[in-house]
């Protein structure tokens, strides 16, 4: 007789949209997929609810995904200064300093020259300042983060597989591949899954021949 629990697990487990060379993408709602994946650290940039696009009109309720993510492993998440109030009190906050930024906060609506990265469950953090210009290397998404920034953020993380439940156009996964790390991305919009796959195909080799990624102690001097 078939093992019913095993059959149920096989039916429930999502099918990857893309899987190659240690990088996996799932197309779907992260709240449905998170219970079925394993990783060592979660790094993500959820919607801020600023109306930049249809998906960003309102944030996904924090309590519907963050508790599950925290059970998977340590979490580092971008939230914006205003958005930080939507999250539980963080264990620590990393500052992304936008070197050379010309943004001004004006009426204190969140457009600052630095941005918080909330951390939960990290055992240690030797530096809490990441300096990187806000110059994304793709225009296929309304709010992309620079790949160079994500490499620096991943350098703060424990070793092992990276999980990004709000993958967008795949910058976290591209950065992970460049650093030779395994990664999992989850994205609810299929067109962004397609873009991420194309970007990963273009990133053929890790950055072995390039200048080594700065150490945590070097970030503040960028």
pLDDT tens figures, 58-83? 568 899 999 999 999 999 999 988 88
> With pLDDT > 70 as the criterion, what percentage of the chain qualifies?
72
What separation in angstroms does the CA of 36 have from each of 1, 141, 161, 190?
25, 27, 15, 19
The pTM score is 0.81
For the four alpha carbons of 55, 56, 58 and 60, in that order, the dihedral sign comes to: positive
pLDDT computed for residue 215 by the predictor:
43
Give 69's contacts (C-beta < 8 A, 6+ positions apart): 34, 42, 44, 75, 163, 165
Query: How far apart (Å, rounded) are the C-alpha atoms in residues 153 and 129?
Result: 10
Report phi then psi at 198, rounded to 5: -65, -40
Q: 92 pairs with which residues across the strands?
A: 119
32-41, 93-102, 174-183 — which is least confidently predicted? 93-102
Q: Check: CATH 3.40.50.150 for 16-208?
A: yes
Query: How far apart (Å, rounded) are the C-alpha atoms in residues 76 and 163?
Result: 10
Which of 146, 94, 99 has its CA nearest to residue 115?
A: 94
Mean of all residue pLDDT scores within the chain: 82
| Sheet with strand 23-27: strands edge to edge | 18-20, 23-27, 183-187, 162-164, 41-44, 75-78, 114-120, 92-97, 129-131
Q: Tell me: the pLDDT tens digits for 141-178? A: 656 799 999 999 999 999 999 999 999 999 999 999 99
Task: Match 């264990």 to its residue by tokens.
Answer: 91
Is residue 181 packed enough to be buried (19+ CB in 10 Å), middle (13-18) or exposed (0-12)?
Answer: buried
Q: 164 pairs with which residues across the strands?
A: 185
Query: How far apart (Å, rounded) are the C-alpha atoms in residues 185 and 28?
Result: 10
């Amino acid at each position: 007789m078939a093992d019913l629990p095993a059959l149920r697990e096989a039916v429930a487990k999502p099918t990857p949209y893309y899987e190659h060379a240690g990088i996996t993408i799932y197309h779907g709602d992260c709240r449905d997929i998170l219970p079925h994946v394993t990783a060592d650290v979660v790094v993500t940039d959820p919607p801020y609810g600023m109306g930049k696009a249809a998906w960003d009109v309102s944030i996904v309720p924090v309590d519907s995904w963050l508790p599950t993510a925290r059970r998977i492993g340590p979490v580092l998440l971008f939230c914006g200064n205003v958005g930080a109030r939507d999250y539980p009190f963080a264990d620590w906050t990393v500052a992304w300093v936008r070197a050379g930024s010309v943004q001004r906060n004006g009426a204190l609506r969140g457009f600052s020259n630095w941005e918080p990265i909330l951390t939960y469950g990290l055992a240690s953090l030797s530096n809490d300042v990441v300096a990187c210009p806000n110059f994304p290397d793709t225009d296929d998404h309304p709010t992309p983060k620079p790949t160079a920034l994500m490499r620096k953020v991943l350098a703060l993380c424990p070793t092992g597989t990276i999980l990004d439940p709000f993958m967008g156009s795949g910058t976290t996964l591209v950065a992970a591949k460049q650093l030779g790390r395994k990664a999992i991305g989850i994205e609810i919009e299929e067109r962004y899954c397609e873009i991420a796959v194309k970007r990963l195909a273009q990133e053929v080799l890790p950055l072995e021949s390039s200048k080594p990624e700065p150490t945590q102690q070097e970030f503040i001097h960028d």
